[in-house]
Amino acid sequence: MTKHFLEIDNLARRFPAKQGELTVFEHASFGIDKGKFVCIIGHSGCGKSTIMNVLAGLDTPTEGHVFMDGREVSGPSLDRGVVFQNYSLLPWLTALQNVTFGVQARWPNWSKEQVREHSYKYLDMVGLGGGAELRKPAQLSGGMRQRVSIARAFAIEPKLLLLDEPFGALDALTRGTIQEELLKICDATNQTVFMITHDVDEAILLADRILLMTNGPHARIAESVKVDIDHPRDRSSIIHDPGYYPIRNHLVDFLVRRSKELSGAVAPETDAQAAGAHPKIVNPAADATAGNTSAEHSAA
């Protein structure tokens, strides 16, 4: 029986290695409710992109299952829009065509004009409507390619957005603008998002929950931290919220110290308490629902 819109049940991914096998991550269980924004944070190489590929249906887990809307994910689908870490645009198409390609597939009955108009809406959103959209990926900068990839994923208005460090190659100004656009879209459309980021401030700004992943190999999702800060949020005022720094300090402490200590070790929640942390910590396997406080405790 599935409880959440997205249900990740005891997922593991192992790859064949020279000696035996490499377990990238294991025992990953969490749920995401419809309309929730969940970020995942962990050190480079711990397996974040590998998890996302499984959620996208592009890779098969060695163990465990992923259910979306009650159905098991078994391949890619237009219900899931993906922004890859390395953009992955079709090099022979222009930026505009990279976007219209997905829009046409999603709404096959739309007229050419409708498809174009809809695609431009999202290209404009990422600041690429002024002529750059007619260029091919090779003629665009890294940041521009990343923006095309964001427009392409958003334009199909998927049930689930999967974002792998989508703002990594952007300058601070563009990054801020797109973060705020993303917040607006999510607030307005009840979009469900799973996003990988290295940026703790970005995670707190955007997420309802932040999953913390221990270092690999044998990485685990150690905790789910609730971001209990009201919407609408914006970058300038969020830092004045009394909840902001306790969460931030908890995340930084995890990345600096506990992600390593917890690798393949002790029960996560107990350790969070020992660290004297203030935000609400949830055992991700027990629950990841924002509204459900049964599995929650304040680590204060």
- Residues forming the site for ligand ATP (CB under 6 A): 15, 22, 24, 42, 44-50, 85, 216
Task: Provide the edge-to-edge strand list for the sheet that holds 221-226.
Answer: 80-83, 160-164, 192-196, 37-41, 209-213, 221-226, 280-282, 296-298
Least distance in Å: CB of 236 to ligand ATP? 28
Between residues 46 and 153, which has the closer beta carbon with respect to ligand ATP?
46
95 half-sphere exposure, CB direction, 13 A CA radius: 30
Between residues 6 and 24, which has the closer beta carbon with respect to ligand ATP?
24
Least distance in Å: CB of 198 to ligand ATP? 7
Say how far apart CA 210 and CA 221 lie, in whole Å: 10
Between residues 44 and 111, which has the closer beta carbon with respect to ligand ATP?
44
- Residue 233 structure tokens: 């949020």
In DSSP notation, 50-72 reads: HHHHHHHTSS--SEEEEEETTEE
Say how far apart CA 254 and CA 36 lie, in whole Å: 23
Least distance in Å: CB of 168 to ligand ATP? 9
Between residues 25 and 122, which has the closer beta carbon with respect to ligand ATP?
25
| Residue 57 near which of Mg ion, ligand ATP, none (CB within 5-8 Å, type-dependent) | none
| Residue 46 near which of ligand ATP, Mg ion, none (CB within 5-8 Å, type-dependent) | ligand ATP
Residue 52 vs residues 66, 165, 207, 264: alpha-carbon distances, Å: 11, 11, 16, 21
- Residue 198 structure tokens: 């290295």
Between residues 24 and 203, which has the closer beta carbon with respect to ligand ATP?
24
Is 49 near Mg ion (CB under 5 A)?
A: yes
Q: Would you tell me how many other CB atoms lie within 10 Å of the CB of residue 240?
A: 8
Is 77 near Mg ion (CB under 5 A)?
A: no
- Residue 76 structure tokens: 């890619």
Is 86 near Mg ion (CB under 5 A)?
A: no
Residue nearest to Mg ion (CB): 49
Number of amino acids touching Mg ion (CB under 5 A)? 2
Between residues 53 and 179, which has the closer beta carbon with respect to Mg ion?
53
Taking alpha carbons only, the member of 66, 59, 57 closest to residue 10 is 66
Least distance in Å: CB of 48 to Mg ion? 5
Binding site for Mg ion (CB under 5 A): 49, 85
